[in-house]
């Protein structure tokens, strides 16, 4: 009987040890589970990324060749309201987007309706449209007269303050987005190094790579902040030309190393900042490609831009109907050559029948195995990935507030003028 308390004590100690061990084991198990959960989350993130990729690839696989070719075209048109040409481009050629110029934009209400009508028409297609514009500020502005004027890039470069340039990009973004645009061919990353340049001038932020890089990239960030796709231009640099590429083909004799020391620096920095799209210039760089301008040059698009500068985004041409191209080459030949050289989107801004001619030339190039459908698939993947990234859609906008937008613009102008 005297041993009973001892046995009871011993039993209690055994129970306590067991509970303690079980607790330690449970904590250890919990840690393992947590670790597994973390791994699972990472795997799920990867799976989600792969899943999104698979969805896009399956979408492309289900597209006809005509639908794929259509995505490679952003076209211009005549008129200020939806018409049979626009309907034809959408219904029969499944174009990837439209670009609007001053000829299409008379006033804000009319433009707002036009863009909504275009989007509404495209809802019959499975891929939404780029609705694009050249809106740089300063002299290159397509917005209707109701919008207050913005200063030129040169004035912003003179201020040379990142926060001002960022706000400049945001203000541009708010303005163009309000009417339904989703892609802006801006800003200019050309360095205005040639005082005889007839086409760049105050469209550039300045005459040094530091000013252009600092302010240009800040503008891109401002546009992005407002959900606008920015296509910077004009790669590999239009600043040191004395010929207007709208009229004739400029020729530059700089070597690749000379370009790397100046013109390419803003583009290289923009690529490091994850720029989405780059427009290529119609300029012949004799030392790099003696036969073809940048727009048609594999040495410049595929080798210099894609390989040397590691650009993975969307490559767009300048308008293929400009004098620099059509005075020297056929539109059809030049367009196919651009795609074969690594480009993704052709801008066909003028000529009612030109989108059809280019479309048929690409079809023929595939039939004759000059272009492979696999090459086109890669381009289409980049294009629809960009549309998905920015959540591009064809939903109509309900309203815009011009007074609010102009108040925002006026506040910005006061800030710039006070510097």
Q: Catalytic: which of 117, 246, 308, 377?
A: 246
310 sits in the region (left: phi over 0; alpha: psi -120 to 50; else beta) called: left
Q: Catalytic: which of 240, 289, 318, 344?
A: 318
Instruction: Please tell me the distance from the alpha carbon of residue 216 to that of residue 231, in angstroms, as a whole number.
Output: 11
Whether a cis peptide bond, with omega within 30° of 0, leads into 234 is: yes
Burial of 39 per CB tally in 10 Å (0-12, 13-18, 19+): exposed
- Which sign does the torsion angle of CA 400, 402, 403, 407 carry? positive
Residues 6+ positions from 162 with CB-CB distance below 8 Å = 214, 215, 218
Q: Are 133 and 99 in contact (CB under 8 A)?
A: yes
Instruction: Please tell me the distance from the alpha carbon of residue 121 to that of residue 186, in angstroms, as a whole number.
Output: 27
Q: Are 264 and 272 in contact (CB under 8 A)?
A: no
Burial track 119-157 (b if 16+ CB lie within 10 A, e otherwise): bebbeebebbbbbbbbbbbbeebbbbeebbebbbbbbbb
Tokens for 64, please give them: 């006809």
SS (H, E, C) 126-184: CCCCEEEECCCECCECCCCCCCCCCCCHHHHHHHCCHHHHHHHHHHHHHHHHHHCCCEE
Instruction: Please tell me the distance from the alpha carbon of residue 109 to that of residue 88, in angstroms, as a whole number.
Output: 24
User: For this structure, is 318 an active site residue?
Assistant: yes
Backbone angles phi, psi at 299, to 5 degrees: -60, -35
Burial of 281 per CB tally in 10 Å (0-12, 13-18, 19+): buried
Burial of 8 per CB tally in 10 Å (0-12, 13-18, 19+): exposed
Residues annotated as catalytic are 246, 318
């Amino acid at each position: 009987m005297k041993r009973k308390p001892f046995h009871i004590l011993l039993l209690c100690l055994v129970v306590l040890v067991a509970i303690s061990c079980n607790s330690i084991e449970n904590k250890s198990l919990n840690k393992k589970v947590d670790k597994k959960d973390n791994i699972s989350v990472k795997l799920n993130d990867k799976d989600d990324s792969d899943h999104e990729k698979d969805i896009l690839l399956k979408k492309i696989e289900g597209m006809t060749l005509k639908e794929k070719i259509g995505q490679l075209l952003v076209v211009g048109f005549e008129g200020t309201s939806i018409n049979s040409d626009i309907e034809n481009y959408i219904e029969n050629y499944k174009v990837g987007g439209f670009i609007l110029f001053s000829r299409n934009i008379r006033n804000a209400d009319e433009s707002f309706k036009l863009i909504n009508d275009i989007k509404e028409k495209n809802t019959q297609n499975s891929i939404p449209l780029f609705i694009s514009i050249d809106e740089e500020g300063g002299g290159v502005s397509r917005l209707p007269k109701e919008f207050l004027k913005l200063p030129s890039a040169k004035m912003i470069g003179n201020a040379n303050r990142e926060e001002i340039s960022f706000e400049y990009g945001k203000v541009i973004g708010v303005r163009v987005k309000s009417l339904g645009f989703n892609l802006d061919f801006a800003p200019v990353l050309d360095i205005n190094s040639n005082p005889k340049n007839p086409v760049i001038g105050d469209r550039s932020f300045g005459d040094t790579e530091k000013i252009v890089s600092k302010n240009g990239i800040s503008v891109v960030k401002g546009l992005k902040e407002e959900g606008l796709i920015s296509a910077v231009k004009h790669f590999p640099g239009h600043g040191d030309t004395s010929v207007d590429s709208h009229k004739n083909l400029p020729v530059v004799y700089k070597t690749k190393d000379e370009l790397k020391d100046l013109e390419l620096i803003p583009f290289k920095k923009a690529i490091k900042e994850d720029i989405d799209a780059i427009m290529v210039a119609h300029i012949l760089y004799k030392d790099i490609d003696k036969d073809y301008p940048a727009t048609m040059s594999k040495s410049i698009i595929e080798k210099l831009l894609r390989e040397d500068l590691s650009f993975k985004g969307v490559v767009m041409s300048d308008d293929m109907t400009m004098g620099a191209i059509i005075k020297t080459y056929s539109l059809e030949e030049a367009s196919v050559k651009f795609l074969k050289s690594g480009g993704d989107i052709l801008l066909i801004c003028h000529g009612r029948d030109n989108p059809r001619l280019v479309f048929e030339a690409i079809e023929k190039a595939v039939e004759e195995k000059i272009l492979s459908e696999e090459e086109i698939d890669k381009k289409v993947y980049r294009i629809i990935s960009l549309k998905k990234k920015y959540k591009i859609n064809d939903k109509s906008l309900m309203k815009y507030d011009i007074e609010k937008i102009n108040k925002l613009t006026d506040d910005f102008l006061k800030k710039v003028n006070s510097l």
